[in-house]
Structure 1
Amino acid sequence: MITYVVAIIIGFLSFSSPFMDTTLNTKKIDRNIGKLTQFSWFKNLYEDEEYRRLFFVNRRVRSYLQNPIRVNALIKRKQAQKRFHALLDKQRQPRNN
């Protein structure tokens, strides 16, 4: 429960605080993707070309994967996996401007 609350607070701060570093750490993201590819649910997403592209070019998805608390939640909780999948679906939809 505490991990969940901390993840929410960090997630909120990471997108809203002007004092937070906005650069992405490619090594950290790649390491976290490596951790997640050990699980079949993630491997299936990673092998799908539409989703895989997001892991490399979409800033919001990469920011999500950079966060170790979120990645640990993805490993441990089905609900976090569903939310991540929903994020991927939302990010792959073409934007109508």
Structure 2
Amino acid sequence: MELNAEAMRHELDTADLWTEVEVLGVPEDAVDAAVESVLSRLRVKSTQEGGTVEVQGKPEGRPIRIRSITGPEARKQAAETLEEEGRGTRWAAGILAR
């Protein structure tokens, strides 16, 4: 599977963001404004590095960089993330070692 900025933006544009915003506890009368605000500022673009997409939803700050990885590299990064977040367990390590 290839990471594609256009496809990612299409999925975000067609997603039911209104339900997602409601689940976050946004008051009912503010849901439309919250969704429209996010969509109006949302930027999704491919970088010059293959397989990397940048997503920015706020005017300030750095974008989120999403990179497509698979196999051993993906398992290694997932294990490191679990460890950094304090959620590393034998169970998770066993799953990731497969």
Give 1 or 2 for the bigger CA radius of gyration. Answer: 2
Q: Structure with the greater relative contact order (CA < 8 A, sep ≥ 6): 1 or 2? A: 1
Regarding TM over 0.5, the answer is no
- TM-score computed with the length of structure 1 as normaliser: 0.28
Question: Which is strand-richer, 1 or 2?
Answer: 2
Identify, as 1 or 2, the structure richer in helix.
Answer: 1
